[in-house]
């Protein structure tokens, strides 16, 4: 029984790191631009399909597929912000909600028209490989996804903290008007920020493509998952996104073991309600959010 629990908790932590990467993309966009991307789940699914097609057509490793997804989704997010999102950044929130819900429906429709509703499993050997570490037996796809996600989270955190662009991004997040006064190119900062958030979603989708069948209907689940994760961790908090992802991943694993696999999506929402009651800002949320 102890070995079973250790395996369940380890699997929850591994998938939680990927959830943290998904949530990080959402929280970066909100933290800097103060817009809520309701189409974030669709961007994760774009990454899943990129992983599916690159592995199927070119037979490349998932890491390479994730790198391709990062580039494609960064450019997609950059162009989307430049052409559409920037026109609504300073609009009231209900305008933003309508636009992003519309984008979500549009992207889901495009996915359905392009690939159909049928699930498409990624033909990766990672899905069938396991690694034994002491009492733990873990699938290699989950280990690789978690390790890559963890490295990307650490690298992105260091880049945003120590680079010149990272300082510009933090300045734009703290005081947009002040950034304009000192000469920051705020539109460019916003476009790159949205590109980074989209790339996080795309990379996470590609990394988990061996674990989830590619299908358009996953988008709603990933959008809700991202929102639950950032609310639990604290909307706008970098560390909160990571901690929220780990918390949700472990909660799902425990729910599947203690109850039934179908309950794994229910426990995170119960946890969300409890946290909202006792700590509405989440673990690391700022008081003004």
| Domain-wise residue ranges, the chain | 21-116+139-223
Mean pLDDT of 125-130: 71
Task: Specify the pLDDT at position 248.
Answer: 92
Q: What is the pTM of this model?
A: 0.93
pLDDT at position 260 over 50: yes
Rounded to an integer, the average pLDDT of 171-189 is 84
Instruction: State the chain's mean pLDDT as an integer.
Output: 89
Instruction: Examine the pLDDT at 104 and tell me if it is beyond 70.
Output: yes
pLDDT > 90: what percent of the chain? 56
Segment 269-289 mean pLDDT: 77
Mean pLDDT of 123-147: 82
Stretch 236-264: mean pLDDT, rounded? Answer: 86
Least confident of 40-44, 180-184, 185-189, 215-219: 180-184
Query: What is the tens place of the pLDDT at every residue in 71-97?
Result: 999 999 999 999 999 999 989 888 999
Please give the pLDDT value at position 108. 94
**Confidence (pLDDT) at 289:** 42
| Better-scored residue on pLDDT, 271 or 214 | 214
The DSSP-derived string for the chain is -HHHHHHHHHHHHHHHHHHHHHHHHHHHHHHHH----TTHHHHHHHHHHHHHHHHHHH---HHHHHHHHHHHHHHHHHHHHHHTGGGGTTS-HHHHHHHHHHHHHHHHHHHHHHH-SS-B----GGGG-EEEETTEEEEHHHHHHHHHHHHHHHHHHHHHHHSHHHHHHHHHHH-HHHHHHTT--HHHHHHHHHHHHHHHHHHHHHHTTTTS-B-TTHHHHHHHHHHHHHHHH-TT-HHHHHHHHHHHHHHHHHHHHHS-GGGGGHHHHHHHHHHHHH-TTTTT--TT-
Q: What is the mean pLDDT of residues 154-170?
A: 91
Q: What is the pLDDT of residue 265?
A: 77
Over residues 193-214, the mean pLDDT reads 95
pLDDT value at residue 81: 97
Q: Which pLDDT value is given to residue 177?
A: 80
């Amino acid at each position: 029984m102890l070995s079973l629990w250790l395996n369940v908790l380890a699997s929850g932590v591994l998938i939680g790191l990927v959830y943290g990467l998904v949530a990080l993309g959402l929280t970066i966009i909100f933290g800097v631009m103060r817009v809520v991307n309701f189409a974030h789940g669709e961007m994760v699914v774009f990454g899943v399909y990129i992983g599916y097609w690159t592995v199927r057509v070119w037979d490349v490793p998932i890491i390479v597929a994730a790198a391709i997804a990062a580039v494609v989704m960064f450019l997609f997010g950059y162009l989307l912000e430049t052409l559409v999102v920037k026109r609504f950044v300073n609009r009231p929130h209900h305008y933003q909600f309508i636009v992003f819900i519309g984008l979500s429906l549009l992207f889901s429709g495009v996915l359905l028209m392009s690939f159909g509703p049928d699930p498409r499993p990624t033909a990766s050997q990672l899905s069938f490989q396991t690694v034994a570490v002491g009492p733990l037996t873990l699938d290699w796809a989950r280990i690789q996804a978690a390790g890559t996600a963890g490295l990307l989270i650490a690298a992105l955190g260091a880049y945003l903290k120590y680079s010149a662009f990272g300082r510009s991004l933090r300045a734009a997040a703290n005081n947009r008007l002040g950034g304009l006064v000192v000469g920051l190119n705020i539109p460019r900062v916003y476009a790159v920020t949205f590109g980074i958030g989209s790339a996080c979603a795309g990379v996470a989708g590609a990394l988990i493509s061996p674990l989830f069948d590619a299908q358009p209907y996953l988008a709603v689940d990933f959008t809700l998952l991202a929102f639950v994760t950032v609310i639990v961790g604290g909307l706008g908090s970098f560390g909160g996104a990571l901690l929220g992802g780990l918390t949700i991943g472990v909660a799902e694993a425990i729910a599947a073991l203690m109850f039934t696999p179908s309950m794994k999506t229910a426990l995170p929402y119960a946890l969300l309600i409890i946290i909202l009651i006792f700590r509405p800002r989440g673990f690391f949320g700022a008081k003004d959010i």
